[in-house]
């Protein structure tokens, strides 16, 4: 699925699949907590220019497919998503404060994978066949000057 976005001097198509879990995999993202988590995540993404293509809140984890601008790093995005959402959810829901008395709603780490229209093999073949006259050293090619 091609999903190009534009900035003033850039056209990009950076899609990521992100996933993170609740601490101890407790199934606390249900009912009003799940809806509030969704709303908080949507608000955070809107504020930093990230577009949500698809999202899913499960009882113990969250999946997102997002389009991320080139100036935004995934580690900073996840820091914002997990940090701000945990703080707001813990402030607003007493049941979460009792369960996560230490203040950590999310488990450490997250899953991140890029998504695109072409495969790794297609990219490697494209890079390999840029020029007919090549000087090859393993898998890193230097093209001759014309």
- Active-site residues, by number, are 126
Neighbours of 97 (CB within 10 A): 14
Burial 124-133 (b: 16+ CB within 10 A, else e): eeeeeeeeee
As beta bridge partners, residue 136 has 141
Neighbours of 20 (CB within 10 A): 19
Distance of alpha carbon 8 from the chain centroid: 23
For residue 23, what is the DSSP state?
A: G
Q: What are the φ and ψ backbone dihedral angles of 61, each rounded to 5 degrees?
A: -160, 165
Cα distance between residue 101 and residue 124, in whole Å: 49
């Amino acid at each position: 699925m091609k999903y190009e976005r534009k900035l003033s001097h850039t056209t990009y198509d950076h899609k990521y699949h992100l996933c993170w879990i609740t601490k101890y995999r407790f199934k606390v993202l249900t009912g009003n907590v799940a809806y509030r988590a969704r709303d908080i995540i949507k608000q955070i993404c809107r504020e930093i220019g990230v577009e949500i293509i698809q999202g899913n809140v499960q009882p113990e984890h969250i999946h997102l497919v997002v389009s991320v601008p080139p100036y935004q790093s995934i580690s900073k995005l996840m820091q914002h998503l997990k940090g701000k959402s945990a703080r707001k959810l813990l402030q607003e829901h007493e049941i979460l404060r009792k369960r996560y008395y230490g203040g950590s709603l999310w488990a450490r780490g997250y899953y991140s994978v890029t998504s695109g229209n072409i495969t790794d093999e297609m990219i490697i073949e494209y890079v390999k066949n840029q020029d007919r006259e090549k000087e090859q050293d393993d898998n890193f090619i230097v093209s001759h000057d014309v």
